[in-house]
Structure 1
Amino acid sequence: MGGGGLESNVSCRNISGRTVWKEIIKAGKIADSTGASFSSSITKCLGNGVSIKFWNDIWFGSERFSTLFHRLYMLETNKDASIAERITHSNGSSVGNWCWTRPPTGRATNEITELNNIVSSVTLSDKQDSWKYNLDPTGIFTTKSLTLLINTPRLGSNALSLSIPRNKLLPQKVYIFIWRAIQKKIPVRLEIDKRGIDLDSTLCPLCELNIETTEHILSSCPKTALIWKLILDWWAQDYSLISNLNDAIINKQPFALSNFGFSIWQATKWITCYIIWKHRNLKVFSKKTWSPGSIISEIQTQSYSWISKRSRKKKSIEWHQWLINPSFFVADTPHRVGFG
């Protein structure tokens, strides 16, 4: 949101920038997990009352005075009057400075009594009016809290857990694929079927035994599991290290590695998922043979190419060592490079 002139952290900002905030609020109308709207998440903080409309802005309670005191509003001569124009201080207390087209009568007199009681409790200050962000206890607006507000209805209450740090050893396309896989957004047959698209079968195109889900195709399919077994053999690790999608993508450091080494380990896993999906598509759309040997060779070659080119420690990565055991030369490397 920085491109729109907003700072990433805004706390009760001066309303001189009200036009920008109005556009955000107008476009907001996004329900959070409690059913509240984004427009109710940013409210005005009363200062001197110069920039807030007495009748048409929400500044006291949850309703506009134009709605709450409709009869008085119809009698108002200046419906856009500011709070500073309608509230004055007299003898140490706040009183209404009204300007009616005619004196209130009938039920409007009841409204004026209630309104005067509210006005008497209001205190204006010398500070300028400002904004407050209600979805954070600090009152500070952050793009992270807004992202959570938008994502929670779409991704569920675990939206934050779906956020993963960027691995700088990989190209953007691999990171995007992994991000989509975590959200179950890659077009496996189950997801396509859920969207009402007719398929001949929802079974996995590799094993043809189980429904094809993201979890199945990237981790638990027997043919995919064989790829992971060969990867773990290559890294000299136990076969049980990767048994589900969480292990394959977002599991924490499973064995002793430096920060740099863990970045390489994670990059290798993500590349494995990416290439598994690539070869799954080749089999589905081009009828290519699923060959574990060629897939492992491609993972080793492609991962070495991407990692060595992007690593500031690329001189320490030797091709023959990479083929023997990648963890051999990264386990005791203290240099941090991987995450951004």
Structure 2
Amino acid sequence: MVSVNSQGDMEWDFGLPNSLDEYDERQVLTLKYLFRDVSLDLDKEDSILWVHSVNKVYSVAEGVRVMLESNLDTEFVCVKVVWNKLVPSKIAIFHWLAIQGGVPVKETLSFRHCLRDGADDKCGWCSSQVESIDHLLLHCPWSYNVWSALFSWWKLVCVMPSSVVEISLACFHGLGVKAKEAWRLICPVSFWLIWLARNNFLFNGSYQSWKSVVEHIKIKVFQWLVNAGKVESFHLYVWNAQPWMLLK
């Protein structure tokens, strides 16, 4: 909310609590810095404009174009990988959140003071490491088994990347264009199904073996490729054994 003080200057009220942690304080200062030159006409109705297009109307395509054309950091290079038309929106959004550090794992919840009193921030599967995004989706022994099985499925010898960003960008060098397209599907669906298995275990007490998750990943990617006309629907057996043989 914005108001005008007795000197005629605009004052911004973000409606935030008086006590903020260090991270949130920095965010508020950044926001105030961005608003320092903003001038509002309080007699006019608010409207939202997208300044990067002629008609001032935002579209996803315009947003992606601006990010790709800007000199942004490595995470934004993932735009091409994440926003894949073969991947359902909810899974692509989760993949993007994982890259941006926005998945509500215990480490994040603890930092935001959102964990219950007495609750720890350890991984629910291994109980030995803090449940960060990279740990949960890649490095926990349970998740690591999922990825090792997927690498073995494609006859890959691979050192586990250090982060979700790194494995998303790898997708996977040296495999060729068609195989890389398949891995652009394998990564997001793997993250998504690992997350669902974690939630089912944490909130419902229902443990799912990593082997069953691997099979689910294979079938889901196969279905997406069939729907896209990349493989034939009757080749599921070959897909499980030699997937690179089927890609058109």
TM-score (norm 2): 0.67
The change in CA–CA distance for 1:218 and 1:167 in structure 2 (over 3 A counts) is same
The change in CA–CA distance for 1:320 and 1:215 in structure 2 (over 3 A counts) is same
Q: Distance in 2 between matches of 1:145 and 1:298?
A: 30
Other-structure match for 2:97: 180
Give the structure with the larger helix fraction.
Answer: 2
Q: 2:210 aligns with which of 292, 297, 306?
A: 292
| SS at structure 2 position matched to 1:318 | helix
Other-structure match for 2:79: 163
Other-structure match for 1:320: 237
Q: Distance in 2 between matches of 1:32 and 1:243?
A: 29
* One-letter code aligned to 2:204: S
The change in CA–CA distance for 1:144 and 1:219 in structure 2 (over 3 A counts) is same
Whether the aligned pair in 2 keeps the contact of 1:248 and 1:270 (CA below 8 Å) is: no
Shift in Å, 1:145: 9.9
Whether the aligned pair in 2 keeps the contact of 1:174 and 1:270 (CA below 8 Å) is: yes
* Cα deviations by residue, 1:252-287 (Å, 9 ceiling, x for unpaired): 5422312x3312111012111111111011110111
Q: Distance in 2 between matches of 1:253 and 1:225?
A: 17
1:257 aligns with 2:176: yes
| SS at structure 1 position matched to 2:189 | helix
Q: Distance in 2 between matches of 1:211 and 1:179?
A: 21
Q: 1:208 aligns with which of 110, 127, 145?
A: 127
Give the structure with the larger strand fraction.
Answer: 1
Other-structure match for 1:53: none
Percent identity, aligned pairs only, is 21
Whether the aligned pair in 2 keeps the contact of 1:219 and 1:244 (CA below 8 Å) is: yes
* Cα deviations by residue, 1:200-231 (Å, 9 ceiling, x for unpaired): 11000111000001111011111111110011
Other-structure match for 2:138: 219
Other-structure match for 1:49: none
Q: Distance in 1 between matches of 2:242 and 2:73?
A: 40
* One-letter code aligned to 2:246: F
Shift in Å, 1:177: 0.7
Shift in Å, 1:288: 1.1
Q: Distance in 1 between matches of 2:187 and 2:205?
A: 25
Q: Distance in 1 between matches of 2:74 and 2:165?
A: 14
Whether the aligned pair in 1 keeps the contact of 2:179 and 2:244 (CA below 8 Å) is: yes
Q: Distance in 2 between matches of 1:159 and 1:249?
A: 10
Shift in Å, 1:33: 9.1
Bigger Rg over Cα: 1
Unaligned runs of 5+ in 2: 1-28, 40-50
Shift in Å, 1:144: 4.5
RMSD over aligned Cα atoms = 3.5
Shift in Å, 1:37: 4.5
* Cα deviations by residue, 1:240-262 (Å, 9 ceiling, x for unpaired): 1545323432325422312x331
* One-letter code aligned to 2:108: E
Count of residue pairs brought into register by the alignment: 198
The change in CA–CA distance for 1:145 and 1:40 in structure 2 (over 3 A counts) is farther
Other-structure match for 1:16: none
Q: Distance in 1 between matches of 2:207 and 2:85?
A: 32
